[in-house]
Structure 1
Amino acid sequence: MPSISKKGINMPSSPIRKLVPFAEKAEAEGKTVYYLNIGQPDIKTPEVAFDALMIMDRKNIAYSHSAGGANYRKGLSDYYKSVGIDVSDDEIMVTTGGSEALLFSFLSTLNPGEEIIIPEPFYANYNGFAQYAGINITPVTANIEDGFALPPIEAFEEKINANTKGIVICNPGNPTGYLYSKEELERLRDIVKKHDLYLYADEVYREFCYDGAEPFSVMNLEGIENNVILIDSVSKRYSMCGARIGALITRNKEVFDTAMKFAQARLSPPTLGQVVAEAALKTPQSYFDEVISTYVDRRNALVEGLNSIDGVFCPMPKGAFYCVAKLPVDSTENFCQWLLEEFDYQGKTVMMAPASGFYASPGLGTQEVRLAYVLEKSALLNAVEVIREALKVYPGRIQQEVNVSEKENSI
């Protein structure tokens, strides 16, 4: 029998989706499963996006330009200018989701065996993209106790060596929901400039910032204009995950031209996805106002509910629609599977993502879970009660001290 490639063997499984068979079995047994494991919003896609499909006047669905349709790229340029990011349409490449944008970025700027530094916990699929590109991830650990703030710059300095070529951040963050401040980003800017590194920034959750907080884009960091590569996507912004439209944005013409070679090799990004994405640029601000209000209400219900459980600690996120909670269990891998296989409370159970899959350092995150507040508030409150009751009887529960002031500060 022919062998599997080493790259295929080393490709990590998704920690977000690997419990799906257990959830499907639980549903087959008649249980209600609250899916808090994946960032698939239940928010409605803007009507203008669907309208564009209904009135589309095309004789066939043809390839677009490899960099994306000209009208859409011009519309994107106008959108970015409207949020304070001054980029031209020839600095924007439309991609098949944000995933392809990051992959093209890695392939265009990094050689096999070179390294990137990422604050952990980080979006688990970064591991997969690194495996694709044959590069190595060096983690710098952020702590749940301080809400996953940017680690000290000294911690980055300690990791930099001759093989280090870049730093990756997600802002607002997946899985933590942490929003980096302008001051934190400026500290990163200084180290990027000092060592002449690339700064790859995943800003797909830009619209989702709470409590008066505003995002600061890496594109507005002065002095590193040619070092910055911005990754974006319509998936979360317009609740259009299946459209598979993202963007790679850079002022570095050499990087852009190199990425175009990879873009040409895959021919074009999805044509229908670009149709709805271009139309979505006309989404009124009232849509986002309502969505943000909904997420704030859900966030508060979930985080306050989790912190009301004995032994649980969850910092209050400032953005995105995720939170990470620390649970008083031996292993959240075991606990999450046990919830689906062996436990229900009044016929209900919960699916969460064990956080160890969001860390690169072995042994970290074993007591943490990521939860996505993408369900209605009533479902989130029910999920909290399931977790509360489950922890009362879980065989692997441990005694865990949680500082009361930490809980109060997290809320």
Structure 2
Amino acid sequence: MPSISNKGHKMPQSPIRKLVPYAEKAVKEGKNVYYLNIGQPDIKTPEVALNAIKNSTIDILAYSRSEGSETYRKKIANYYSKNNIQIKHNDIIVTTGGSEALLFAFGSIMDSGDEVIIPEPFYANYNGFSIASGVNVVPVISKIENNFALPPIEDFEKLITPKTKAILICNPGNPTGYLYSKEEIKKLAALVKKHDLFLIADEVYREFAYDGISHYSILEEPGLEDYAIVIDSVSKRYSMCGARIGYLVSKNTAIVSTALKFAQARLSPPTLAQIASEAALDTPQSYFTEVIEEYVDRRNTLISELEKIEGVKVAKPNGAFYCIAELPVKNSDDFAQWLLESFSYENETVMVAPAAGFYSSPNMGLNQIRIAYVLKEESLKKAVTIIREALKVYNN
């Protein structure tokens, strides 16, 4: 029998999605499941985006340009301009989700065996993207005790080798919700320039910054034009996860022209979704103001309720809509599966994402979970009550 590739064997399961069969079984058994495992907002998609599709007069659903339509890229550039970031539409490659943008970035700057340094815990799919690209992740550990702040620059510098090609951050962070400060970005900028590395920033949650703290993009940092690569997406910003539209942004023309070759190889991003995404850029600021207020309330409720549970430690996020909670259990994978298979409270249970899958270091995050606070406050309270009652039973 022909064998599966080593790459295929190494490809990790998603900690966000691997428990779906257990959740489906729980639902078939009549249980109500609160889904805290995945960053699927329950916020309505802007009407302007949906109407653009409904009112489309397209006769032939044709390919778009490989780099994305020119009108859309010009509107993206204008969006960045409103955020004090000056880029041209030719600095942008539209992709099939932020995931493809990151794959294009890896393919454009790294060869098989090269290394990328990433503060962990990090978005679980970075592990999968690196394996698919033949790239090695070198983790630098951040800690729950200081809300997963940027590790000391010295810790990064110790890990740099001749194989190191880039540092990758998610800002604000998934799964931690940590928002890097301007000072932390400047430290990273100085480091990549010193060692001639690329700095990749996944900024898909840039609109979700709380407590009066502003998001500082690597594209704003002077002197970083040749080093900076930004990954962005419409999925979370406009609650359009199913559109699968993202983009790569860089002022380095060599990166953009190389990424375009990868874009040409896969032909083009989806045409209808680009129409919706272009229209979404006309969403009024009031939409984001209301959304951010809603997420801040949800975050405060979630953190407050979790802190009431004995033995639980939780980091307070300043951005995105995730947090990491440390539970009084030995193995959160086992606990998360048990929640769906064997436990219910008032015929309800909870689906969470075990956090070990957000690390690449062995035996890290074994007692942690990621919670996406994408449900209304009342549902979050019920979900935390279920976790509290579950822990009493599980630990006995």
Aligned to 1:334: 334
Aligned to 1:199: 199
C-alpha distance in structure 2 between counterparts of 1:222 and 1:156, whole Å: 21
Aligned to 1:405: none
Query: After superposition, what is the alpha-carbon deviation per residue over 1:245-282, rounded to whole angstroms, capped at 9, x for unaligned?
Result: 00100011111111111100111000011000000000
What is the identity, as a one-letter code, of the residue corresponding to 1:238? Y
Say which SS state the counterpart of residue 199 (structure 1) adopts: strand
Aligned to 1:5: 5
Q: Is the 8 A contact 2:312 2:328 kept in 1?
A: yes
C-alpha distance in structure 2 between counterparts of 1:99 and 1:178, whole Å: 20
Query: After superposition, what is the alpha-carbon deviation per residue over 1:41-73, rounded to whole angstroms, capped at 9, x for unaligned?
Result: 111000000110121111111111100001000
Query: After superposition, what is the alpha-carbon deviation per residue over 1:94-137, rounded to whole angstroms, capped at 9, x for unaligned?
Result: 00000000000000110100000000000000011101110100
Say which SS state the counterpart of residue 276 (structure 1) adopts: helix
Aligned to 1:143: 143
The percentage of counterpart residues that share the same residue type is 61
Say which SS state the counterpart of residue 138 (structure 1) adopts: strand
Aligned to 1:392: 392
Aligned to 1:403: none
Aligned to 1:252: 252
Say which SS state the counterpart of residue 158 (structure 2) adopts: helix
C-alpha distance in structure 2 between counterparts of 1:55 and 1:25, whole Å: 39
C-alpha distance in structure 1 between counterparts of 2:116 and 2:222, whole Å: 22
Aligned to 1:241: 241
Shift, 1:334, TM fit: 1.0
Shift, 1:231, TM fit: 0.3
Say which SS state the counterpart of residue 168 (structure 1) adopts: strand
Shift, 1:2, TM fit: 2.1
Aligned to 2:373: 373
What is the identity, as a one-letter code, of the residue corresponding to 1:321? F
What is the identity, as a one-letter code, of the residue corresponding to 1:191? L
Match runs of 1:8-407 below 5 Å: 8-395=8-395
Say which SS state the counterpart of residue 314 (structure 2) adopts: coil
Shift, 1:12, TM fit: 1.1
Shift, 1:7, TM fit: 1.5
C-alpha distance in structure 2 between counterparts of 1:4 and 1:338, whole Å: 31
Shift, 1:221, TM fit: 1.4
Q: Is the 8 A contact 2:108 2:255 kept in 1?
A: yes
What is the identity, as a one-letter code, of the residue corresponding to 1:376? K
C-alpha distance in structure 1 between counterparts of 2:179 and 2:303, whole Å: 16
C-alpha distance in structure 1 between counterparts of 2:208 and 2:20, whole Å: 27
Say which SS state the counterpart of residue 229 (structure 1) adopts: strand
Shift, 1:202, TM fit: 0.2
What is the identity, as a one-letter code, of the residue corresponding to 1:256? V
C-alpha distance in structure 1 between counterparts of 2:365 and 2:186, whole Å: 28
What is the identity, as a one-letter code, of the residue corresponding to 2:80? Y
Shift, 1:224, TM fit: 2.1
Shift, 1:171, TM fit: 0.2
C-alpha distance in structure 2 between counterparts of 1:393 and 1:56, whole Å: 54
Say which SS state the counterpart of residue 200 (structure 1) adopts: strand
What is the identity, as a one-letter code, of the residue corresponding to 1:2? P
Shift, 1:330, TM fit: 1.2
Q: Is the 8 A contact 2:349 2:386 kept in 1?
A: yes
Query: After superposition, what is the alpha-carbon deviation per residue over 1:191-245, rounded to whole angstroms, capped at 9, x for unaligned?
Result: 1010000001000001101111110000111222101100000000000000010
C-alpha distance in structure 1 between counterparts of 2:287 and 2:181, whole Å: 25
What is the identity, as a one-letter code, of the residue corresponding to 2:332? T
Query: After superposition, what is the alpha-carbon deviation per residue over 1:10-33, rounded to whole angstroms, capped at 9, x for unaligned?
Result: 111111111111111111111111
What is the identity, as a one-letter code, of the residue corresponding to 2:89? D
TM-score by length of 2: 0.99
C-alpha distance in structure 2 between counterparts of 1:183 and 1:359, whole Å: 25
C-alpha distance in structure 1 between counterparts of 2:202 and 2:294, whole Å: 23
What is the identity, as a one-letter code, of the residue corresponding to 2:180? Y
C-alpha distance in structure 1 between counterparts of 2:50 and 2:254, whole Å: 37
What is the identity, as a one-letter code, of the residue corresponding to 2:289? D
4+ residue runs over 6 A deviation: none
Q: Is the 8 A contact 2:218 2:224 kept in 1?
A: no
Aligned to 1:404: none
Shift, 1:6, TM fit: 1.8
What is the identity, as a one-letter code, of the residue corresponding to 1:168? L
C-alpha distance in structure 1 between counterparts of 2:131 and 2:345, whole Å: 40
What is the identity, as a one-letter code, of the residue corresponding to 1:148? F
What is the identity, as a one-letter code, of the residue corresponding to 1:391? L
Gaps of 5+ in 1: 398-411
What is the identity, as a one-letter code, of the residue corresponding to 1:281? L
The size of the alignment, in residue pairs, is: 396
C-alpha distance in structure 2 between counterparts of 1:293 and 1:260, whole Å: 38
Gaps of 5+ in 2: none
TM-score by length of 1: 0.95
RMSD: 0.8
C-alpha distance in structure 2 between counterparts of 1:131 and 1:213, whole Å: 35
Say which SS state the counterpart of residue 272 (structure 1) adopts: helix
Say which SS state the counterpart of residue 107 (structure 2) adopts: helix
What is the identity, as a one-letter code, of the residue corresponding to 1:296? V
C-alpha distance in structure 1 between counterparts of 2:49 and 2:333, whole Å: 39
C-alpha distance in structure 1 between counterparts of 2:25 and 2:175, whole Å: 26
